Amino acid sequence: MYNKINDQQEKTGSGDERAGKARTVQIDGVTLHLSHPDDVPMKWVGLPELKQQLLASWIVLDKEDYPLNPRLLGKPGVGKTTLAYSTARELGKEVYIFQATMDTRPEDLLVTPVIDSNQAIKYVASPVVTAMIRGGVIILDEGNRMSEKSWASLAPLLDNRRYIESIVAGIKIKAHPDFRFVATMNDDASTFEIPEYIHSRLQPQIYIDFPERDDELLILKENLPFLEIKILEYVVDFLQKAHRKDERYTVRDGINIARYAGKLMKSRKLPQKVALRRATLQILGDEASIYAPL
């Protein structure tokens, strides 16, 4: 099945891609319009061990072996997507991100029919299917916000069959040998329970916890090189106090606090500490005041 897909690879070349034209492939007589990879400024500056765990899950040991489908678990904002994206980019692969929601349908994950300008049906491959065909990496972001019905459509992709079936387009698509899958999942109460038959296909689990102080400061420096170190240290101290109390505040919140404080200092001419405290309360609410120095 794979060879048949590979033999009918893209009709448009790299020049067309640079010109922004649609990429297409034909599978069993059906033309699929492919998605474009994501190109975002993400760099992982957390624990190298987490990256090594992810890379290990994607290794293939033998021609009879196949890669695992890891899930990255942690509170919102701890860098799960950043870890997945930067690791995949280090492998030189195209990376596709699919944002899962409660409204995600099976056809959203696979192939969607749309009406083109000529009133003809056009089949559009999702980022998941495009990554399968191209041998890229798909990041299924916040996967546990998705319903069981949608997960069921991915079941044959996540075991040794490594294919999907599109009822809409009437075709079966087998994944390229270089295709890799990773799901990120938030460790909070606003998510669905993953069905057991899917849960067993999403292994291993890689848990991303709040970073230590030095690592958190490095992350802030990487993302906010234009801000004074005292601003970043204030934010790290705030976050570390909150982490010790198991609050939900993450480094993403810290980045927003620091950025907004810098803007308040520039536009309103506020003193640094005043701007930082105001930014903290406006972004996180009054309940954050117990961790924000006066």
Tens of pLDDT, residue by residue over 269-287, are 999 999 999 999 999 999 9
Give the residue extent of every domain in the chain. Answer: 36-103+126-207, 213-291
Specify burial of residue 184 (Cβ count, 10 A radius: 0-12, 13-18, 19+). buried
Q: What is the pLDDT of residues 234-247, one digit of tens each?
A: 999 999 999 999 99
Please state whether the peptide bond connecting residue 293 to the residue before it is cis, i.e. omega within 30 degrees of 0: no
Q: What is the pLDDT of residue 22?
A: 57
pLDDT of 19 > 50? The answer is no
Q: What is the pLDDT of residue 221?
A: 95
Q: What is the pLDDT of residues 48-106, one digit of tens each?
A: 999 999 999 999 999 999 999 999 999 888 999 999 999 999 999 999 999 999 999 99
- CB 38 within 8 Å of CB 150: no
Give percent of the chain with pLDDT exceeding 70. 91
pLDDT band at 213 (very low <50, low <70, confident <90, very high): very high
Q: What is the pLDDT of residue 217?
A: 96
Q: What is the pLDDT of residues 152-181, one digit of tens each?
A: 999 999 999 999 999 999 999 999 999 999
From 12-26, 29-43, 95-109, 214-228, the region with the lowest mean pLDDT? 12-26
Handedness of CA 214, 219, 221, 222 (dihedral sign): positive
Q: What is the pLDDT of residue 173?
A: 97
The CATH homologous superfamily of the domain defined by 36-103+126-207: P-loop containing nucleotide triphosphate hydrolases (3.40.50.300)
Question: Which residue in 38, 71, 39, 83 sits closest to 251, CA to CA?
Answer: 83
Q: Which residues are 173's β-sheet partners? A: 164
pLDDT band at 20 (very low <50, low <70, confident <90, very high): very low
Q: What is the pLDDT of residues 114-134, one digit of tens each?
A: 998 888 899 999 999 999 999
201-226 burial, b at 16+ Cβ within 10 Å, e below that, comes to bbeeebebebbeeeebbbbbeebbee
Question: Which residue in 187, 177, 178, 106 sits closest to 147, CA to CA?
Answer: 106
Within 10 A of 246 (CB to CB), how many other CB atoms are there?
Answer: 8
pTM for the full model? 0.87
More confident residue, 45 or 175: 175
Distance CA 142, CA 139 (A): 9
